[in-house]
Structure 1
Amino acid sequence: MNVRLPIESSSPTAVLFVAFNKDASCFSVGLESGICDFNAGIGLVQMMGTSNYLALAGGGRSPKFAINKAIIWDDLKGKVALEITAVSAIRGAQLSREHIAIVLQNSVRVYTFAKPPELLHNYETADNLLGLCSLSEKKLAFPGRTTGQIQIVDLGTGNVSIIPAHSSALRAIQLSADGELLASASETGTLIRVYSTSNCARLAELRRGIDPATIFSLAFSPSGSLLACTSDKATLHIFDVPQPSKGAGGARSSQHSGQAQEADPGKWGILSRLPYMPRVFSDVYSFASAPFDAGNESTLGGIPFSEATALGTTRPPKGIIGWISEDSLVVVGAGQQAKWEKFTIMAGDDGKRHCVREGWKRYLGTS
């Protein structure tokens, strides 16, 4: 789907899965009725950039493929390019020009993008039913063997770094476009942490809120200077992101971040500067937020499966974020009322930046 089309209304249909490509110019969806003329369930669809290759996995009530098989589909030729059979159910997949990362419940397997695919690495992980994994051209991030830890792999050298990111299970991880930054959130959902992948240093701790929440999506802006977050609180948050040092040249500059430091006194104003106040008063909060449609669907038509059985059998994905420019982003949801909403960051009369919803669109018809 081209998210730069004019916003208009259309009829809804059920969607099992949704994901953006790397530059968020398109997003792909998996349906109970299939994709690419498949008349069966597709629970995962990942695009390789703007190429013709898609990673597919079966899902829903009647999966198109065996749940332990990943398919690399050539949409230009309309046929299967590669097949990878795993030892257990596929939980996620990521594609780059050189690598294929297949996520299983307790491991991540990295293959060459070649025919036949060659297994390069097999990394053990803690339970990862959500299929958490983020791939850039040079870095790969996924859960560690211990709950709350993150493994970062340098794909060029094979070196593995471990970040003890959270004390509870991970809910979301995301690399920036250049692979230099990593954002993570746990199942608690109150704090988002940002790390430099070059030295594993923590650059920021960002507070989404005080009450626990289920994080839906994390996404860096194209430059990496902003981070967006959605959760089941039905709120989109936008944060400034400190940048890691770049050798003798100092830190990567961020115009947005500099503006925020000069103009924004913080969520709690003078209270954040008083000694002995609880840390929530001094934490870094989002500089802008806006409501989005999180929907109220708890299942996809009452599909009687558990999340351990097949993809696309739990609550449909909501709040998936894609940045289409440095100040514009789209939030997409799946389910029976599948839609996308466009938001823009703009300066207000009060001198602060605001996140404004420009419109929405139901992106699939009933046929």
Structure 2
Amino acid sequence: MATLSASPSPNPNPNPNFRSPTDQTDHDPESLPQMELHPSSDQDPTPNSNRNFHAVLPTPPEATAPAAAAAPSLLHISFNQDHGCFAAGIDHGFRIYNCDPFREIFRRDFDRGGGIGVVEMLFRCNILALVGGGPDPQYPPNKVMIWDDHQSRCIGELSFRSEVRSVRLRRDRIVVVLEQKIFVYNFADLKLLHQIETIANPKGLCAVSQGAGSLVLVCPGLQKGQVRVEHYASKRTKFIMAHDSRIVCFALSQDGQLLATASSKGTLVRIFNTVDGSLLQEVRRGADRAEIYSLAFSSNAQWLAVSSDKGTVHVFSLKINGGSPGIDRSQSASDPVTSPHSSLSFIKGVLPKYFSSEWSVAQFRLVEGSQYIVAFGHQKNTVVILGIDGSFYRCQFDPVNGGEMTQLEYHNFLKPEAAF
């Protein structure tokens, strides 16, 4: 993990819930840069003079318990890079939860009420990226604050002329997404490496690969329905016309070789090879329009999960094989069958494409209209679902027979009386 520190050797981690960088066993130690302290970015700087925002203090207030027992308002939820944890930004701070076993592992409540609209974790290390949000933001929403939990304070910031829509972290990069621009920084010294212009991107759509290899970044292009893929190792840019309609959601496999996209129609999800832009597979969520909230690949890119406002989470089987350049995921004989086709697929080409679409292997029913994000759990054939209402579900699907998933666990992580 990247470690931010004002000194060459950071202090021992006083918070046992966060791992120190030396505890990480799944990454190359040589890829763990030490950061010299740079309090702000000189790129696109415009200090925010709005006095409604709280001033950024050298040492933020200590964590305090909420005065009232009412559940906090949830402003943001997101998984960390390996889906083992998730972060919640609330109207007076932020909280970090472990997925398996489910428990709250850290919280910080600002005693002056400051809301956090974006919390981006860096795996399980002590570094977080924070952006203010809600009616009473803790920080200006045009700044990214780099929080070091070793020191329990913000140790750096990046300032911009417009509001920050989202942030993506890697061990070596910080990616900041604005409405129509993306900035890529070196994590070690906050040096600006790249700027990208995009079509209007109010959701802050952006995905970065998390494998040990080189960085692959995906963002909206400059046209409706287009995605832009940056391969930094080969210094190549690939544009893919993924849909006719506006792009509303996409996801990258961990190695950055597979891209899943969904449009504002919400009926089809397409899987592309990011190297050559070829369409590898197309799966169908349903026949009627829907808003896709999240897409997620399993760690081995064998499964794809989809959540939407229809209240159903779908799991699709991916049939990616070695026939595509740069991709080798041929299935063994013991692997499950691919997604079922319509029973009328034998007359493919005669009936509309709807009848030959691939449908999901497994489904899980939720409250229709609520917003959920989804990821694959660390237990085999499990899916973790997070709701904007504070709900946490762990479900299991049958990889062979499919059908309705089995609910293994449920919690409301916003309830103050919940014991962790």
Note the alpha carbon deviations across 1:88-143, whole angstroms, 9 max, x for none.
Answer: 1100110000001100000111001023x111110000000000001114211110
Report deviation, 1:295.
5.8
Residue number in structure 2 paired with 1:43: 117
- Measured in 2, the distance between the counterparts of 1:230 and 1:102 equals 25
Report deviation, 1:347.
5.6
Pair 1:203–1:246, CA change in 2 (3 A): closer
- Measured in 2, the distance between the counterparts of 1:67 and 1:345 equals 40
- Measured in 1, the distance between the counterparts of 2:234 and 2:125 equals 26
Q: Given the alignment of the two structures, is residue 18 of structure 1 paired with residue 77 of structure 2, yes or no?
A: yes
Checking the alignment, whether the CA contact within 8 Å between 2:342 and 2:357 is kept in structure 1 is no
Note the alpha carbon deviations across 1:127-163, whole angstroms, 9 max, x for none.
Answer: 0000000111421111001111111111324321111
Residue number in structure 2 paired with 1:175: 252
- Measured in 2, the distance between the counterparts of 1:175 and 1:212 equals 23
- Measured in 1, the distance between the counterparts of 2:273 and 2:334 equals 17
Report deviation, 1:248.
9.7
- Runs (5+) with no aligned partner, structure 2: 1-16, 19-68, 95-107
Any idea what SS the aligned residue of 2:202 has?
coil
Pair 1:293–1:78, CA change in 2 (3 A): farther
- Measured in 1, the distance between the counterparts of 2:92 and 2:167 equals 20
- Measured in 1, the distance between the counterparts of 2:326 and 2:217 equals 26
Pair 1:256–1:176, CA change in 2 (3 A): farther
Q: Please, what TM-score do these two structures have when normalized by structure 2?
A: 0.73
Any idea what SS the aligned residue of 2:136 has?
coil
Note the alpha carbon deviations across 1:42-87, whole angstroms, 9 max, x for none.
Answer: 1111111121111111111011111211112112221113211112
- Runs (5+) with no aligned partner, structure 1: 3-9, 297-317
Identify which of 352, 360, 363 aligns with 2:410: 360
Q: Given the alignment of the two structures, is residue 143 of structure 1 paired with residue 220 of structure 2, yes or no?
A: yes
Checking the alignment, whether the CA contact within 8 Å between 2:297 and 2:376 is kept in structure 1 is yes
Residue number in structure 1 paired with 2:4: none
Amino acid at match of 1:48: L
Pair 1:230–1:248, CA change in 2 (3 A): closer
Pairwise CA RMSD = 2.5
Amino acid at match of 2:409: G
Q: Please, what TM-score do these two structures have when normalized by structure 1?
A: 0.84
Amino acid at match of 1:272: S
- Measured in 1, the distance between the counterparts of 2:266 and 2:337 equals 24
User: Looking at CA atoms only, which structure, 1 or 2, has the larger radius of gyration?
Assistant: 2
Any idea what SS the aligned residue of 2:345 has?
helix
Any idea what SS the aligned residue of 1:64 has?
coil
Report deviation, 1:352.
4.4
Any idea what SS the aligned residue of 2:383 has?
strand
Q: Show the 5 A alignment for 1:261-272.
A: 261=338, 266-269=340-343, 271-272=344-345
Report deviation, 1:198.
1.7
Checking the alignment, whether the CA contact within 8 Å between 2:361 and 2:399 is kept in structure 1 is no
Checking the alignment, whether the CA contact within 8 Å between 1:11 and 1:364 is kept in structure 2 is no
- Measured in 2, the distance between the counterparts of 1:360 and 1:210 equals 30
Residue number in structure 1 paired with 2:347: 274
Determine which structure has greater relative contact order: mean sequence separation of CA pairs < 8 Å that are 6+ residues apart, divided by chain length: 1
Amino acid at match of 2:346: R
Checking the alignment, whether the CA contact within 8 Å between 2:276 and 2:325 is kept in structure 1 is no
- Measured in 1, the distance between the counterparts of 2:333 and 2:77 equals 29
- Measured in 1, the distance between the counterparts of 2:156 and 2:233 equals 23
Any idea what SS the aligned residue of 1:273 has?
helix
- Measured in 1, the distance between the counterparts of 2:272 and 2:70 equals 41
- Measured in 2, the distance between the counterparts of 1:67 and 1:208 equals 35
Amino acid at match of 2:89: G
Pair 1:248–1:365, CA change in 2 (3 A): closer
Any idea what SS the aligned residue of 2:377 has?
strand
Percent identity, aligned pairs only, is: 34
Residue number in structure 2 paired with 1:216: 293
Pair 1:136–1:342, CA change in 2 (3 A): same
Q: Which moved more, 1:245-254 or 1:325-334?
A: 245-254
Residue number in structure 2 paired with 1:243: 320
Pair 1:88–1:258, CA change in 2 (3 A): same
Report deviation, 1:12.
4.7
Report deviation, 1:353.
5.8
Report deviation, 1:292.
2.2
Q: Given the alignment of the two structures, is residue 320 of structure 1 paired with residue 370 of structure 2, yes or no?
A: no
Q: Given the alignment of the two structures, is residue 194 of structure 1 paired with residue 271 of structure 2, yes or no?
A: yes
Report deviation, 1:366.
3.4
